[in-house]
Amino acid sequence: MTTVAEILKSKPDSQVYAVAPNATVFEALRLMSEKGIGALLVKEADNIVGIFTERDYARKIALMGRASAQTPIAEVMTTSVLFVHSNQSSEECMQLMTGKRLRHLPVVDDGQLVGLISIGDLVKEIISAQQFTIAQLEHYIHGGVH
């Protein structure tokens, strides 16, 4: 069973990007585009106060006819941020993400942000584990036939 800590270690870029609540949606979108990411944490000092995702943009800016250059993130961010701990399993995270329809989860240990995982990170890990199992089974099957 893979843990969140193992998933974080396997990520090529473990940097967690964040903006302040007074940043504009446009500034957040620019950062998301530059980094090729779909979500940003919203932090005040060291506290997570929200998360801003592509889904927030689509539903709260684009569909509502708001201007991204004038709208502060604080007005459109998701404030009820769920998080996981690094010792939790990938299965627990997948259940939480699918059950709550989330695509990103901050990882917090002892009150400190240690990373961010996405549904893509979990899917990649599941595929890797399945490929390993298939390879082991093929080796067993072919190794047992003489």
Q: CA 10, CA 8: separation in Å to the nearest integer?
A: 5
- The chain-wide mean pLDDT, for the chain, equals 91
Residue with tokens 């943009």, as numbered in its chain: 57
**Mind giving me the DSSP string for 11-58?**
-S-----EE-TTSBHHHHHHHHHHHT-SEEEEEETTEEEEEEEHHHHI
Q: CA 48, CA 39: separation in Å to the nearest integer?
A: 13
pLDDT of the residue at 104: 96
| Structural contact between residues 51 and 100, judged by C-beta atoms closer than 8 angstroms | no
The two structure tokens encoding residue 131? 């490929």
Prediction pTM value? 0.83
For residue 135, is pLDDT > 90?
no
**Which residue type occupies 104?**
H
Question: What topology does CATH give the domain 4-144?
Answer: CBS-domain (3.10.580)
Q: pLDDT digits over 12-69, tens only? A: 888 999 999 999 999 999 999 999 999 999 999 889 999 999 999 999 998 888 999 9
pLDDT of the residue at 144: 59
* Mean pLDDT, rounded, for 82-108: 95
